[in-house]
Structure 1
Amino acid sequence: MGCLTCTYALSILTALSLILLGTCTSGQHTDTVFKRASHLKMDEAFLLIHNELKSEKFEVFWLSDQCFQCAYQPLVHVRKENVSTVVDARHPLTLQINETSTNRVLCSIHYTFREFGNYSVWVKASPADHNNISCDIIIDYNPVYSYLPIIVAFLVYLGIFCVFYLVSCIFRLDSVRNWLCKKMNPVETDRLINSELGSPSRADLYQEFHSATSNRLRSLDTFRGLALIIMVFVNYGGGGYWFFKHQSWNGLTLADLVFPWFVFIMGTSIYLSLNSMLRKGNTRWKLFGKVVWRSIQLFLIGLFVINENYCHGPLSWSDLRIMGVLQRLSVTYLVVSVLELLFAKPTPDALPQNCFPLQDLVLFWPQWVIILTLEAAWLCLTYLLPVPGCPAGYLGPGGIGDFGKFPNCTGGAAGYIDRMVLGKGHIYQHPSSNVIYKTTMPYDPEGILGTINSVVIAFLGLQAGKILVFYRNQHKQVVGRFFAWSILLGVVSAVLTKCSKNEGFIPVNKNLWSVSYVTTLSSFAFFLLLLIYFLVDVKKLWSGAPFYYPGMNSILVYVGHEVFEDYFPFKWKMQDIYSHGEHLAQNLLATSIWVLIAYILYRKKIFWKI
C-alpha cells in the first residue's frame, strides 16, 4: 500500500511539475520575439535582406547541410527594396546570392540560424572595388534558447527519481513499516508486524503472481519497456524537436532507434517462449496455430484500429494503408517463429557447462542459411531490380536530392515494389524525406522490402535468446557473448558505412531498413541489453522500474497510446502552439501517464496478451 501510494503521489508531482514546465518555458519568447515577427513557427527564424546594391537585382537561394547532394533552392527575389523572409532554424544553412540577369554568384554565407531569432543580411559592394560583393549577417534580436525546456524537464525527472529513491529507502526501514501498519489497522498490529510482507492474506494474494513471474528475466521486459516508452514519446511529438523525429533520409536520430530495438527484443522473447512451451510438451502444430492467430490479430489491429492514414479523415479501401508498425511486427513475428519451429529442439533446463564453443550457432546452421539467403534476396532486389526512370541500385530520397536528377525515385527498388504491389494509395503518403528533400512520391518506411531486414534483426534478437538459454546462470559467458556480438556487428557497420553518414557503400537508413541500419541497431541493442542484464538480473542494482511495467504490457500501451492520442489528459489545447516548452510538457506528461497506467495494471495483475 505504501509503495503504491508513493507512486500515485509521485505521479501527481510529475504532472504538476511538467505543467509548470510548459507554463514557465512557453512564455520565454511570447513577450519579445512574437512582437517582432508574429508569423514565426517553431524551428523558424526571421531574416531581413538589405539590398545596398541599388542598381542590382538578385535572388537568394538556400541549401541545408542535412540535404546531401541537393541543388540550391530559391528563397526570395530581391529588387531595390529590402525583403523579409523566414528561414529554417533546425540545421545550418548556406545562403547563396545570385545576380538575376547573369545568374552570377555574388556571394555566399554559411550560418546557423536559431529559433525565433531576427537576423539581417547586408549585401553591399566594397567601396574600392564594386565587383567585390560581401554578405554580412547581424543579429537584430537575440534568438530563444530552445533547449531550455529539455534541461528543465531533465532536472524535474531527476528530482522525482531522487525523491522516489529516498521514499523507498525510508519505507524499507522496519520502524517506519511497523508505524504504518499500526496506523493502517491497529486491531491487527501484532499480526501485521510479525508478517514481513504485511497481511498474510496479501502475501497469499501475491504468491501465485510472483511465482509466475519469478522466472522471467526482468532485463528483457525492461529493455522492451524502454524502447516502448521512447516510442510513445516520439510518436506524441517529442516536444517538437527535430532530433526527436525521424531522420529525413540517411543517418540516425533518437526516434530511429526504438522500433528496431522493439523488433530485436521480440526475437529474444520468441526463442524463450517457444523453447519453454516445447519443453512443456506442446506440439509444433499447436504452437504454429498460436503463432498464426497472434500474427493475424496484430496485423488486423494495425490495419483497422491504428492506421496512420486516419489522420486525413475517414478512410475507404482506396486510401487504407496496408503496411505499418504492427503489420510489420506481425509478419516478422510469423516468419521468425515459423523458422524457429521448423528447426528448433527444446533445450533442457540444465546444460553442461563444458559444451563445445559456439553451440548456440553451430546447432542452428540451417536457420542461418535461410537468414543469409533472405539478406541476399534483399541485396539483389535493391541493387539489381530495374526501376523505370531510376538508376540501378538507387538508394536516394529522390526529390531535390542527387541535384534533382531523380525526383520520382524515392527509395529506389523498395518504393517501386510497394507502389506496384500495394498501390500508391495504400502506402504512407507523407514520408520523412519530404521535410528536407521535398519529395512528392508516397513512400512507406514499413514497406515490403524492408520487412526482410526486419526479420533479420528479429533473428539477431533470437540469437540473444539462445545465448541466455544455452548459458543459463553463466553470467560471464552471457555478458561476453553479448559484447562480442555488439563489437562484431559494429565492425560490419563501420565497413558498410565507411564510418560516414552518406559516403559509405550502404548508408544507415531507417526508411530503407538498410543492412547497415540492421547491423548498427543490432550492435546497439546487444550492448544495451548487456548493460540492462548486468544491472537488473546479475547485480540486481536496478529493478528495471519504471520501464519494467510498460514492458510487461507492451501491446496494450502501444495500441492505447495510439487510440487515445487526441484525448484529454494526453492532449489539450495549448495556449502557445509554437512553444517547445508546452509541447514537451504535454508529451512527457502523456508518456508518464502511460507508465502509471502500466504500473497500476501490473499491480492489478492485468495483462493484455494476444
Structure 2
Amino acid sequence: MKKGSIATSAPSTRVLSLDVLRGVTIAFMVLVNDPGDWAHTYSQLDHAKWNGWTLTDLVFPSFLFIVGASIILSLASRVARGESRRELAGHIVRRSATIFALAMTLNLIPYFRFTHLRLYGVLPRIALCYLCAGLICLATQRARNLLAIAGVLLVGYWALMRFVPVSGFGLPVRDMPLLDQDRNLAAWIDRGVIGFLQRTIHTGVLYEKTRDPEGLLSTIPAIATTLLGAVAALWLRCTGATREGDAYIPTKAQCAMGLLLAGMLGVGMGLLWNLWFPINKNLWTSSYVLLAAGLSLIGLAGCYWLIDMKRFQETWVGRWLVWPWLVFGSNAIVAFTTSVVLVKALLYFKTSNMGANGKPLSVWSWTYAHWFARGNSTNLSSLAFALCFVLLCFIPNWLLWRKKIFVKI
C-alpha cells in the first residue's frame, strides 16, 4: 500500500446513523405519497408545482444519497469476505435487474395492462442509479474521482438543458423559457422514447402525459446524487480505518464537523446555481442535486453526532425514539413495496356505498370518509390518515425485525 493511503477494510461497527436516516426517509416517503385526500395536504407535504422545493421534494434524493453511501459500505464488506471484482459486478447487475423487475410487477398490479405500463418511476430510477453508481464505485473509490465524475454529470446536464435546441421548439432562453414544462430537452426525449416503445413493443406511458418526473435524461444528475452519497460514506469510513504512514484519520467529532461543513457548502452552491439553473425536482436540476445533497449531509451529520457519537439510542428514551427508524430502515424496500401493494388493494376493492359520482366507493375512500374526514376533509384529517397508513406499513417491517429477517434484493 502506498505511503499516506488508508486501508480499505470496513470498520467493525455499522454506521447506525445511516440506518436511522434511511428509516426516517422511507417513512416520510410513505407519508407524503399516501395522504387521505390529495386536495387537502399541507404545502410542505406535497411537491412543488414546478420550480422551487418543499420538504417532500427532498425525500427521494435523500434516499438515493443513502443508496450511494450503502454501495460503499456494501462493497467494503464483500471485499472483506474475499469476493472478486467480477462477483461484485455481477451482484450489482443482478440487484439492479431485480429492483427493476419488482418495479414493473408493482406497476402492473392489479390489472396487468401491459399497454399501460409505466417504465419510469421511483424504483426504476433507483435501479439505474444503483447500477451506474455501483459500477463506478467498483472502478474507483477515490473521493476526488467520484466528485469529479459527479461534477461532470451536473455540468454536462446543465449544458444539455441550457444550450441544446429542442426539436420543434427552438433554443432554451432564446425561443422559450428555460425549463419550460413541456418544451424542454428532457420531456422531448421522454416523449420520443415512449413513442418509440409504443410503436415497437406497444407499451409505455408518461406519468404527466407529456413528461415524466423520473425520465431518462434527468437520471444523469440523479446518478450524481448517488455518487455524492458514496463520497460521504468514504469520509465516514475514514474514522474506522487503520493509519498507514502519515495518512490523516479524522476523529468522530471531526467527521461530523466535516459532514456539516460539506452540507452547508452544498446548500450554498445549490442556492447560488439556482439563480441560473432553477431548483426543480421534476427535472432533477443540478442546483437541486447540490441543495438536496447538502441537506442530506447536514441530516447525516446530526444523526452521526447523536447516534454514533453520543450513543443516544442506548439511553432509555433514545431506545424508544430511535428503534422505529431502525426497523423501517432495516427493510426499506419491504416498507415501500408494502405501501404500494396496500394502496392498490384499498383502491381496487369496492364497498357497497356509493360516492358522489354514483360509483361504488373504494375501501380507501370509504375508510377516509367514515373514519377520518367524517364529511369534512381537512389538511389535518388527511395527515391523520397518512400517519395511520405509515403505522400500517410499519407492521410487516416490525414482524421481520422481530424474527431478524432482513430482505436483501
RCO higher in structure (CA 8 A, sep ≥6): 2
Shift of residue 238 of structure 1?
A: 6.4
In structure 2, the partner of 1:561 is 339
Q: Deviations over 1:203-241 (max 9, x none)?
A: xxxxxxxxxx98322211110011100100111126531
Matched-pair contact (CA < 8 Å) for 1:252–1:510? yes
State the secondary structure of the residue aligned to 1:252. coil
In structure 2, the partner of 1:464 is 232
Query: Separation in 2 of the partners of 1:375 and 1:455?
Result: 9
Question: 2:251 pairs with 438, 453, 474, which one?
Answer: 474
Query: Separation in 1 of the partners of 2:271 and 2:236?
Result: 27
Question: 1:257 pairs with 55, 58, 61, which one?
Answer: 58
Shift of residue 377 of structure 1?
A: 2.8
Matched, 1:382 2:156: no
Query: Separation in 2 of the partners of 1:384 and 1:421?
Result: 21
Shift of residue 553 of structure 1?
A: 0.5
Matched, 1:527 2:325: no
Matched, 1:328 2:131: no
Matched-pair contact (CA < 8 Å) for 2:146–2:228? no
Unaligned runs of 5+ in 2: 1-10, 241-249, 313-317, 348-362
In structure 2, the partner of 1:347 is none
Mark the CA change 1:469 to 1:302 in structure 2 (over 3 Å): closer, same or farther: same
Shift of residue 323 of structure 1?
A: 1.0
Mark the CA change 1:238 to 1:245 in structure 2 (over 3 Å): closer, same or farther: farther
In structure 2, the partner of 1:221 is 19
Matched, 1:492 2:293: no
Larger radius of gyration: 1
In structure 2, the partner of 1:514 is 285
In structure 2, the partner of 1:296 is 97
Question: 1:339 pairs with 133, 136, 151, which one?
Answer: 136
Query: Separation in 2 of the partners of 1:318 and 1:605?
Result: 40
Identity %: 30
In structure 2, the partner of 1:281 is 82
Mark the CA change 1:453 to 1:395 in structure 2 (over 3 Å): closer, same or farther: farther
Query: Separation in 1 of the partners of 2:266 and 2:329?
Result: 26
Moved more, 537-546 or 235-244: 235-244
Unaligned runs of 5+ in 1: 1-212, 345-362, 431-440, 498-503
In structure 2, the partner of 1:420 is 192
Question: 1:447 pairs with 215, 230, 239, which one?
Answer: 215
Query: Separation in 2 of the partners of 1:455 and 1:269?
Result: 14
In structure 2, the partner of 1:550 is 328
Matched-pair contact (CA < 8 Å) for 1:429–1:444? yes
Q: Deviations over 1:496-539 (max 9, x none)?
A: 12xxxxxx211110000001110111111000111111111110
State the secondary structure of the residue aligned to 2:300. helix
Q: Deviations over 1:549-575 (max 9, x none)?
A: 110010111111101114469946123
Could you say which structure has the higher strand fraction?
A: 1
Shift of residue 546 of structure 1?
A: 1.5
Shift of residue 476 of structure 1?
A: 1.5
Mark the CA change 1:367 to 1:527 in structure 2 (over 3 Å): closer, same or farther: closer
In structure 2, the partner of 1:314 is 111
In structure 1, the partner of 2:33 is 235
Residues 76-87 of structure 1: matches in 2 within 5 Å?
none
Mark the CA change 1:429 to 1:282 in structure 2 (over 3 Å): closer, same or farther: closer
Shift of residue 369 of structure 1?
A: 3.5
Shift of residue 376 of structure 1?
A: 3.3
Query: Separation in 1 of the partners of 2:283 and 2:268?
Result: 20
TM-score calculated relative to the size of structure 2: 0.79
State the secondary structure of the residue aligned to 1:387. coil
Mark the CA change 1:394 to 1:292 in structure 2 (over 3 Å): closer, same or farther: farther
Matched-pair contact (CA < 8 Å) for 1:306–1:559? no
Shift of residue 368 of structure 1?
A: 3.5
Matched-pair contact (CA < 8 Å) for 1:245–1:253? yes
Aligned alpha-carbon RMSD (Å): 2.8
Query: Separation in 2 of the partners of 1:520 and 1:545?
Result: 29
Q: Deviations over 1:294-321 (max 9, x none)?
A: 00000111122236xx6xx835443311
Shift of residue 469 of structure 1?
A: 0.6
Moved more, 215-224 or 456-465: 215-224
Matched-pair contact (CA < 8 Å) for 2:107–2:117? no
Query: Separation in 1 of the partners of 2:174 and 2:405?
Result: 45
Query: Separation in 1 of the partners of 2:193 and 2:171?
Result: 19
Shift of residue 277 of structure 1?
A: 1.3
Matched, 1:606 2:405: yes
Query: Separation in 2 of the partners of 1:475 and 1:427?
Result: 48
Shift of residue 366 of structure 1?
A: 3.5
Mark the CA change 1:587 to 1:368 in structure 2 (over 3 Å): closer, same or farther: closer
Question: 1:248 pairs with 41, 49, 72, which one?
Answer: 49
Residues 146-185 of structure 1: matches in 2 within 5 Å?
none
- Given residue 455 of structure 1, which amino acid in structure 2 is its aligned partner? I
In structure 2, the partner of 1:393 is 172
State the secondary structure of the residue aligned to 1:449. coil
Query: Separation in 2 of the partners of 1:263 and 1:567?
Result: 27
Shift of residue 461 of structure 1?
A: 0.5
In structure 2, the partner of 1:34 is none
- Given residue 232 of structure 1, which amino acid in structure 2 is its aligned partner? V
Matched-pair contact (CA < 8 Å) for 2:68–2:228? yes
Shift of residue 493 of structure 1?
A: 1.4
- Given residue 406 of structure 2, which amino acid in structure 1 is its aligned partner? F
